[in-house]
Amino acid sequence: QNLASSEINLAGAERSLADARLAVHRALGGAWVEDDEDIGQQLEEEYEMMDRLTFPSDEEAGR
């Protein structure tokens, strides 16, 4: 029973990861996150880029 429960939990975790990757894919306008990339690092970089585009500093905004 523990093995079956673990397999169910693993399947749920894999589904959650797939859902998260799809959300990132859509948020990036179709760009895809490769399996061998450090997803956490890529997400940080993408969030920083989105922050800069959404809330540019005075220098970036040309003020």
> DSSP string of 1-63?
-HHHHHHHHHHHHHHHHHHHHHHHHHHTTT----TTS-HHHHHHHHHHHHHHHHS--TTTTT-
Say what the pLDDT of residue 36 is: 55
Q: What is the pLDDT of residues 5-58, one digit of tens each?
A: 888 888 888 888 888 888 887 887 776 656 555 667 777 777 777 777 777 666
What pLDDT is recorded for position 51? 74
Say yes or no to pLDDT of 2 above 80.
yes
Q: What's the whole-model pTM score? A: 0.44
